[in-house]
Amino acid sequence: MRTRYLRGLVFAGAAFLAVRPVTAGTMTGGAGVDYETGPEAQSYRSALLFGSADLASGDFTVAAVRFGDSSVGPGISGFANAGPRITSASRLRVIGLRTIGDRAYRAWRVRAGPELNLTSEVTLGAYYLRAQDNSAGNFDAGGVELSVPIARGVSGQVGSSYGKWDGGATTAQGMMAGTWHAGSRVQFLCEVDVGRNVMTTSSSAPSGGGILGGLPITGGLGNGGSVTESRTENRVTATSQFGVRFLFP
């Protein structure tokens, strides 16, 4: 079943990249790798294939991910990120992720909220996040994020979020991230999250949204990490994520 699921994602991505729309727009595809490290020496590694379209009506990204997680083991994820245009300066951002571990782990995550273009290069967004896996805990969160240019080929992002597990424990964290366009076909990404009871590394990553137009990267803004309730109380922790994207011609 897992093999058929991954094969279906790959075929869908291939078909997505093979079809060129007749309307004006831009289509891209590529591959990438990510690495994340978190509290208690947890780690997450992944490789992914993705395809994206940016059209007059909005943008859309799909990805197939193969990961290895120190907590739940290896598995696959399917990712979709849609940003239909509401007005010339606003979009509705909807991001979904489904994870199937090689073992018993299963998880899904949905994030949705508005995005406002303050200028052609500055974007302000807000979102609601719902995450669930087959452990004992579910997670709900809300957050905001601001994306701004820093220098030629470099963009940055800052944000904060507040969330709560259904058991009552809460998490609050801040995020700083950056994307460097090292060339027309190579992009480097980094992200650091610091806060109280920051969600730990997990195969529920990648988050999507913000960085690199929503292409998958782990962690960030209450998105990365297991939805299982943290066992530490009011502990300040941090996670760090690094990634690279190779764009196909």
CATH number of the domain residue 201 falls in: 2.40.160.40
Domain of 71, in residue numbers: 2-19+26-247
């940055």: which residue's tokens? 156
Cis peptide bond prior to 216, omega within 30° of 0: no
Count of domains observed in the chain: 1
What is the DSSP code string of 98-157?
Answer: EEEESSS-EEEEEEEEEEEESSSS-EEEEEEEEEEESSS-EEEEEEEEEEEEEETTEEEE
Tens digit of pLDDT at every position of the chain (249 positions): 545 544 554 444 444 444 444 445 688 899 999 998 877 778 889 999 999 898 889 988 899 999 998 888 999 999 899 999 999 999 999 998 899 999 888 988 899 999 999 998 899 999 999 988 887 678 899 999 999 999 988 999 999 999 888 877 888 888 898 989 898 899 998 888 888 766 543 333 333 333 333 444 433 323 333 333 444 456 777 888 889 999 987
pTM (2 decimals)?
0.79
